[in-house]
Amino acid sequence: MHRAVRAAAAAACVIAFSAGCAELAPVAPPEQRVVTAQPVTPSTSLDLEAAEPTLEGFTELERAALRIRNIGCGGVRTGSGFAIGDRLLVTNRHVVAGATTLEVTTFDGKDIDVRTSGAASVADLAIVRTRERLPASITLAPGNPEVGQTVTAIGYPLGGPLTTTDGRVLGYRPDPVAKSDLPMLLSSAPVEHGSSGSPLVDITGELVGVVYASTGPGHTYAVPIEVLEDVLDRPSAFASKTGCTD
**What's the chain's average pLDDT?**
81
Q: Name 245's Cβ contacts closer than 8 Å, sequence gap at least 6.
A: 7, 8, 97, 98
Does the pTM surpass 0.85? The reply is: no
Considering only the top CATH level, what class is 15-27+140-230? mainly beta
Q: Is the pLDDT of residue 229 over 90?
A: yes
List phi, psi (to 5°) of 133: -70, 140
- pLDDT tens figures, 40-92: 333 334 444 444 445 557 899 999 999 999 998 779 999 999 999 999 999 99
Cα angle, residue 103 at apex, residues 101 and 106 outer, rounded to 5° = 170
123 three-class SS: coil
Percent with pLDDT over 90 in the chain: 65
Question: Which pLDDT belongs to residue 236?
Answer: 78
Q: Looking at the predicted structure, is the pLDDT value of residue 17 above 80?
A: no
- Whether 33 shows a pLDDT value over 70: the answer reads no
Q: Which of 159, 142, 167, 143 is nearest to 217 (CA)?
A: 167
pLDDT tier for residue 245 given thresholds of 50, 70 and 90: low
Residue 149 has pLDDT above 90, yes or no: yes
**Tens-digit pLDDT profile for residues 98-124:** 899 999 999 999 999 999 999 998 999
Q: Where are the domains of the chain?
A: 15-27+140-230, 51-137
What is the per-residue pLDDT for 57?
76
Using the predicted structure, report yes or no on whether residue 26 has a pLDDT greater than 50: no
Chain segment 184-203, per-residue pLDDT in tens: 999 999 999 999 999 999 99
Distance from C-alpha of 121 to C-alpha of 241, rounded to nearest angstrom = 9
- Residue 41: its pLDDT value, please? 32
Q: Which CATH superfamily is domain 51-137 in?
A: Trypsin-like serine proteases (2.40.10.10)
